[in-house]
Structure 1
Amino acid sequence: MANLSSADLALLEADLPPAMRVEIDSNRYATERGYVELRASGPADAPVIVCLHGIGSNSAGYRAQLAGLCHRFRVIAWNAPGFGASTPLAMAEPHADDYADVLLSLLDRLQCTRMAALVGSSWGSVIAMAFAARYPHRLARLVLAAPNTARGRLEGTAKEEALARMLDSGRTPDEASRAAVVARLLPADVPSQVRERVAQLRDAVTPCGWAQAVRMLFSMHTPSLVGDIRCPIDMLAGARDTLAPVEQHALPLCEAAPGIRLHVFEDCAHMLKLEAPTRFNAIVRDAVDRAG
């Protein structure tokens, strides 16, 4: 179990910046125009760090990064298409490149020509890898937390059954389903402050957003992609993560791209940014500083 320091607790209790909607043009929307909901903190002219959340989460999952990194950086955490008040994608079965292209349109709208770092957690790591491979000139560093190899290698009955299970698990959350999600993401001995924050994150997931996100996972195999990424990569993984175990996700990615710097949090599970926020933030700051 990760012990929370007073600094960790302060980050977990920090107020969230208000959510705002940014209108963008993108041919990934049905009407070629839509909205991305996001939260932002830090000086408008500071180096930009963009944070991409996981499949059952939203921008609020980066509470500790919005609070802890804002003194040096402009921190932006989005709600992915179909999450919160963000416009869903036009296609029923999107690819990670579709999400990456919406992110590019958002960056253009925000006049951000190059990110100091792109941070992706879990499902968000898949989008982050796709973006880094597709638009290498738009970021200096990639940080992947609880990374995901995705499920593009599944075929036949195994794929159909896994896809059906994941789609069904996206039903409207109630107390029982919230508790089940928290149990999958966190060990039983995680501090209550972390559990409470994680329990709130699923509420911004919409049925459409969930279905699109799930189908995207089944179109990708990130070890086939990560070797094409040219920028430096830091990877954070929890040794107690049972949802995306290190041996099945982080290590295959490291084997595909041997230059990755792997940071294993021995006392953490899947929600590293909330379980050990000061350590998480320190690695992000160091990664940006090493990238120059």
Structure 2
Amino acid sequence: MTDTDSHLLEASLPAIEHVQLRLPTLGDKPVITYRAAGDEHAPAIVLLHGIGSSSAGYRAQFAALSKNHRVIAWDAPGYGQSSPFAISTPAATDYADALADLMSALGISRATVVGSSWGSVVAATFAARYPAATRALVLSAPNVARGHLSGAERNAARELLMRGAAAQSSETRAAVVDTLLAPNAGPLVREVVSRLRDAVTPTGWEHAVDMLFSTHTPSLVPSIQAPISVIIGKLDRLAPIDEHARPIHEAARSSALHVLDAIGHMPKLEAPGIFNSIVLTAAAVGKDGAHRQ
């Protein structure tokens, strides 16, 4: 990690803001919390966190991307102070609709949408469902989701994912961080990842897990019109490239694959400078209307 990367990870976070939506799936008084930075009139970049994270996970992106863009990172329904879904098993389309409602409430008609890990599933679903609102799509450490599973295989996969929400000993928590990061990840990154997981709520986690079984990302991306950039760490053990990123990349009509050496499952934290550069390039490509292969 460079000195610049370290400074990005130590930058101040924008304050939490609240907005009330009109989405009935979020209950009677639906509220989404989010962080925002940059000029409100600048092109928008919307950041979607992973299953064990929140808007606070994009500290390094706020610090760099907001110089020339309006940057928004939400707390997904059930995360942070955002209202959880009022339905028992929300689908990926429910999260996409919540994101569309948030963007509308903030006056954002079109954005470069960035999703990390679980958030990549929400991002891809949004891009397929709201093509006119998607300037470009960036999928980091993407996940194929689990919609192709059924029966006993599905039940076993759900049970395994749900265990991640259980209270963890310090040893177990350290093991989770080890799985998420490359072996050479420094103490600053490890501390950030561990702290992010502490803020996850049981309801948010359970709904996020169930969402994964409502779709299959490689089946979704062929319909996406926006140019796609896929970012994957070569040492990603949680979502290995050949099982997740590559099938998504190959299924897309227009996709650029960025494989980062010596990086694990958290490119936005392990290599924020490179990550930010890819996002900025994707935003510029989307603005020009060009597609890359």
State TM-score, norm by structure 2: 0.95
Structure 1 residues 114 and 6: CA distance shift in structure 2, 3 A: same
Tell me which of 20, 24, 32 is aligned to 1:23. Answer: 20
The corresponding residue for 2:51 is 55
Could you tell me how far 1:174 is from its partner in structure 2?
Answer: 5.1
Tell me which of 96, 101, 114 is aligned to 1:100. Answer: 96
Matched, 1:68 2:98: no
Does the 8 A contact of 1:51 with 1:118 survive in 2?
yes
* Structure-2 separation of matches of 1:172 and 1:102: 28
The corresponding residue for 2:120 is 125
Structure 1 residues 225 and 180: CA distance shift in structure 2, 3 A: same
Does the 8 A contact of 2:22 with 2:101 survive in 1?
yes
Does the 8 A contact of 1:142 with 1:232 survive in 2?
yes
Does the 8 A contact of 2:182 with 2:262 survive in 1?
no
CA offsets, 1:157-216, max 9 Å, x none? 121111112112212455344323212201332111111111111122111110000011
Letter in 2 for 1:82: G
**Unaligned 5+ runs, structure 1:** none
The corresponding residue for 2:105 is 109
Letter in 2 for 1:68: A
Does the 8 A contact of 1:55 with 1:213 survive in 2?
yes
* Structure-2 separation of matches of 1:69 and 1:30: 33
The 5-angstrom pairing of residues 218-229 of structure 1 reads 218-229=213-224
Tell me which of 214, 239, 251 is aligned to 2:246. Answer: 251
* Greater shift in the superposed pair: 52-61 or 14-23: 14-23
2:243 aligned counterpart, secondary structure: coil
CA offsets, 1:59-116, max 9 Å, x none? 111110011111001111111000110000111111100001011111111011111x
Tell me which of 72, 87, 98 is aligned to 1:91. Answer: 87
2:138 aligned counterpart, secondary structure: strand
* Structure-2 separation of matches of 1:30 and 1:176: 38
Tell me which of 244, 261, 280 is aligned to 1:266. Answer: 261
Matched, 1:154 2:153: no
Structure 1 residues 175 and 252: CA distance shift in structure 2, 3 A: same
Does the 8 A contact of 1:172 with 1:207 survive in 2?
no
2:250 aligned counterpart, secondary structure: helix
Two-structure CA RMSD over aligned residues (Å): 1.2
The corresponding residue for 1:9 is 6
Matched, 1:135 2:130: yes
* Greater shift in the superposed pair: 101-110 or 186-195: 186-195
* Greater shift in the superposed pair: 124-133 or 40-49: 40-49
2:104 aligned counterpart, secondary structure: helix
Letter in 2 for 1:99: Y
The corresponding residue for 1:77 is 73
Deviant stretches of 4+, over 6 Å: none
Does the 8 A contact of 1:52 with 1:128 survive in 2?
yes
* Structure-1 separation of matches of 2:65 and 2:181: 24
Matched, 1:233 2:228: yes
Could you tell me how far 1:121 is from its partner in structure 2?
Answer: 0.4
**Unaligned 5+ runs, structure 2:** 288-293
Does the 8 A contact of 1:28 with 1:101 survive in 2?
no
The corresponding residue for 2:208 is 213
Identity of aligned residues (%): 49
Matched, 1:46 2:42: yes
1:28 aligned counterpart, secondary structure: helix
1:25 aligned counterpart, secondary structure: coil
Letter in 2 for 1:152: G
